[in-house]
Amino acid sequence: MTGAAKSNQTAVAAANDVRAALRSAIAGIEASFNSIEKLQPRTRLSLALSLLDGFSQTGTKFAKATENLSQVLALLDIDERHYWISTFYTLLIHTSLRREKATCFTPPAIVRHLIQRSELAGLDLTKARIIDPAAGGAAFVSSIAGRMVQLGCHVRDIRTRLTGIEIDPHLALLGDALVCDRLGEPFDRKAQKAILRVGDSLRLGQNPIRHDAVFVNPPYGRILNANSEFVPDWDAVSAPGHINRYALFIDLAFRLVKPGGLVAVVSPSSFLSGGLFARLRESIRSRAEVLRVDILERQDVFHDVQQDTCVSLFRAKAPGAAKLFVPSCGRIDSEWRFSESGIISAPGTAQTSPWIIPDQTGDDRGAMDRCVSRLSDYGVTPRAGYFVWNREEHRLSRGARKPGAYPLFWAKNIRPGKQCHPTSKTHRGVDFVTFEVPTAGIVRTPSIILQRTTNSKQAKRLVAAVIPRKVVKKYRGFVTENHTILLTPNGGRPALKLLCKLLNSAAVDRRYRRIGGSTSISVGSLKNLPLPDPSCLQTAMSRLADFEEAVELAYALSAAASMRAKAAA
């Protein structure tokens, strides 16, 4: 076993030990309080701080519950120890509130990666003024402080140049304590000026101080019921009716940084190509040079959370700067190892264009762009599933079919490559949806159905099946739920079985991942998915018996044909 392999094995074992100790500590605390929900914020803070200063702030009531955890954390380096202390604090928050606030912290490997990449991009940590507007458990602030100490900076100097903002006052105190631990200072909330300020960064107004760098892992998710708190500036980075927190924090970061300064962001990868993030992409490209985007190939980037994630580095444009778009792209694998992948491309000239990440197999980054065929060339059009059952549950019935009722297809009915038939959520009988009058939601043609939402554990992003003609004949139509996408014929009788097989292929799935930046499949990304020309696919299938090999050949033939046509024109 190599030294690197041994190191990774040791790291995995240590993480497993910490997780086991966390579970044990949480169980002990729940036994004391009967429920995590009954913990007061100050109690959560005291419990987390006890892991730093040897139970001095908690009574013996909690010492037994956290003793083993404290001993396990003492064996870790300071980066890992601080990460797990912050994570412990969040695990003391009720699950629903934790998810509502999107409280999850940046793993040390990602913090180190972004700091290193920023320094390579020219950030001088001996002079730079830096801010984290969503500081959380101070992962960035603490680690940057530690790096400044390594570079010989004095603690007083660090305190004048480094700051963070955190909306949770107790978490801000914990973050300050962690920074003090990093700087080798005792934590005294009264004697010291806090590095982490308490406040809502999105509400603090214009900050007169511009920074050399902004590091941020913002909260994710949409702001629901946004009409009551809508800020006009948000419209520039948000699709109508879809105001996403992390888009707002990226926008804020560019308002906090100097021209020529760096913005380092941990975010979902959905903004790379998602249709709802076109305005955000346009805003970024108009305000910054995109230096690099690194894709995280882990299912568990954040503790207890599944999220497709990337880390990005931008340089705010100075007036008159060239509008180049040649971002480097890398990958960080399941063992936190980094490798370069190539260059990100954006087809066309529009700044709203999706960002296409390079293929892992080394495929020429322009080859996919040269394939001009789309789903429309296969005779189908994508449309979102119609029925939102929890909004119109009164229309839903199980068992015997009523007049005006049509079978409902759930996303869980879909098995890749198999014929899809309607079954209930419990797989007993069929669920029906009743309509008083005809509606466009009733589909009366054979179609392809896809899962609209997948997860990181699934091998394929695209999961498709055919709803056959016999289903349409039997029920005179059908309805699909909103977690599905349908591909319906434009007319005639397209080869749905072949198209379904094509969409379920690894070759197409891999290419979709280059333009589909999240686990949510969008109608827009499907419309823009480059596919091999149908005639080239037939030619390839006549030459090769293996379908996956035939699809790869069809892509190559299509790209070559497109190049010839372009040259002839």
Residue 454 burial (10 A CB sphere; 0-12, 13-18, 19+): buried
Number of structural domains (the chain) is: 3
- State the pLDDT at residue 304: 45
Full domain range(s) for residue 274:
108-343
Final residue of a structural domain among 493, 522, 537: 493
553 inside domain: no
* Residues 6 or more apart in contact with residue 483 via CB below 8 angstroms: 385, 410, 411, 451, 452, 453
Whether 183 and 282 map to the same domain: the answer is yes
Question: Running along the chain, 569 residues long, what does each successive block of 10 average in pLDDT?
Answer: 47 75 84 73 84 56 74 90 89 67 76 96 97 93 96 95 93 92 82 84 76 93 61 80 88 94 92 85 94 78 57 89 84 83 82 81 56 91 87 79 87 89 83 85 94 73 93 92 93 92 92 72 82 95 96 92 82
Residue whose C-alpha is closest to residue 524's, from 384, 350, 387:
384
Q: Is residue 508 part of a domain?
A: no
Of 65, 100, 135, at which residue does a domain stop?
100
* SS3 labels along 312-369: EEEEECCCCCCCCCCCEEEEECCCCCEEEEEECECCCCCCCCCCECCCCCCCCCCHHH
Number of residues assigned to the chain: 569
Beta strands in 133-193 (DSSP E): 162-166
> Quick check: is 56 in a domain?
yes
**500 domain-assigned:** no
CB 261 within 8 A of CB 210: yes
DSSP-derived 3-state class of residue 548: helix
In a domain, 512, yes or no: no
Instruction: Tell me the per-residue pLDDT of 360-374, one tens digit each, with 9 for 90 and over.
Output: 654 544 566 678 899
| CATH code at position 163 | 3.40.50.150
- Do 272 and 389 sit in the same domain of this protein? no
Residues 87 and 151 in one domain: no
C-alpha separations of 546 from 47, 257, 430, 497, 552 in Å: 59, 53, 37, 17, 10
The verdict on 93 and 154 lying in the same domain is no
335 shares a domain with 425 = no
Summarised one tens digit per residue, pLDDT across range 490-532 is 988 899 999 999 999 999 988 887 776 556 787 877 887 889 9
The verdict on 81 and 117 lying in the same domain is no
Same structural domain, 165 and 304 = yes
* Per-residue confidence (pLDDT) for residue 305, from 0 to 100: 43
Would residue 366 count as lying in a domain? no
Tokens at residue 317, please?
A: 């444009």
Q: Give yes or no: residues 317 and 298 share one domain.
A: yes
238 and 290 share a domain? yes
The pLDDT value given to residue 54: 46
Q: Give the per-residue pLDDT at 240.
A: 80
Could you say which of 471, 493, 515 is where a domain stops?
493
Q: 459, 499, 465: which is closest to 480 by C-alpha?
A: 465
